[in-house]
Structure 1
Amino acid sequence: MSKKSGFQAMLGAKCPQCREGKLFSVSPFSFRKISDINHSCPVCQANLYPEPDFYYGAMYISYAFSVALVITALTAINILIPEPKLWMYLTTVFVGNLLLFPAMLRYSKVLYLYGLGKLKYRGH
């Protein structure tokens, strides 16, 4: 039985059913198969692919993360720099997206599975 809350399980990218098994087969710092999700939970054997191509919907969440990053970066530049140049905007958005891409890609799938995966926590 896991003592983790649903929020802690989401942050740790754990199975929504047991909150212990890892969703991803590789480390977030490995760029090979960075977003491949295990087909079943290694702990409780829950099916992590409710239907074929289930995770295509996660691209909408990933897009929302990117838009939020752009808006935040542009607002921060406008507040912190008196007369920003175009290259400052472009560089900040490009570097921010490049650095945060792995996290945005992974957590969009985690949020999509938790929201629409129909797997409920089965704590004993």
Structure 2
Amino acid sequence: MSQKSLGAAMLQGNCPRCREGNIFPTSMLSYRKLSDVHQQCPNCKAVLTPEPDFFYGAMYISYAFSVALVVNVLIILNYFFDDPDLWVYAVTVLVSNIILLPAMQRYSKVLYLYGVGKLSFDPHWNQKG
């Protein structure tokens, strides 16, 4: 069995411990059940909601994603369209937030779990009794 890299595991939303099981029960393209996370990894049974404040911490990362998105959209619109009307800014920010909402919510949880969670990669997790 080949080991999946850290970047590939994070992009695919896999468990930080085994890098094989999915963190989320639904597809990223689904707007239904965006906040659902498996309680345990389906593969190695590691606890994926390590603390009650897991969702609060992920919310701060999601907020940072939203702020970065707004700043980037404003800069791009101002640079390419030479200071458009205020409604163009508002509509573009709203539409881009709606389109990118699933990705921002998912990756905020993935980043929090990989960065702050107490799980670390263990390539020999299945050999421990």
2:52 partner letter: P
Listed as ranges, the matches of 1:84-95 within 5 Å are 84-95=84-95
Q: CA, structure 1 residues 2+15, in 2 after alignment: closer, same or farther (shift >3 Å)? A: farther
Question: Where in structure 2 are the equivalents of 1:91-110 lying within 5 Å?
Answer: 91-110=91-110
- CA-CA distance at 1:52 after TM superposition: 2.3
Deviation at 1:57, TM superposition (A): 1.0
The whole-number CA distance in structure 2 between the counterparts of 1:9 and 1:29 is 18
Q: Give the corresponding residue for 2:81.
A: 81
> Unmatched 5+ residue regions in structure 2?
125-129
| TM score, norm. by length of structure 2 | 0.91
Report the TM-score, using the length of structure 1 for normalisation: 0.94
Distance, in Å, in 1 between the alignment partners of 2:20 and 2:14 is: 6
Q: State the 1:32 CA deviation.
A: 2.0
Cα contact 1:2–1:20 (8 A) shared by 2: no
Amino acid at match of 1:7: G
Tell me if structure 1 keeps the 8 A contact 2:77–2:83.
Answer: no
What SS does the aligned partner of 1:9 have?
helix
Query: How many aligned residue pairs are there?
Result: 124
- Residues 14 and 22 in structure 2, CA contact (< 8 A), matched pair in contact too: yes
Percent of aligned pairs with the same amino acid: 59
Q: CA deviation at 1:2?
A: 4.7
CA offsets, 1:8-43, max 9 Å, x none?
Answer: 100000000000000000111222212211000011
Deviation at 1:61, TM superposition (A): 0.4
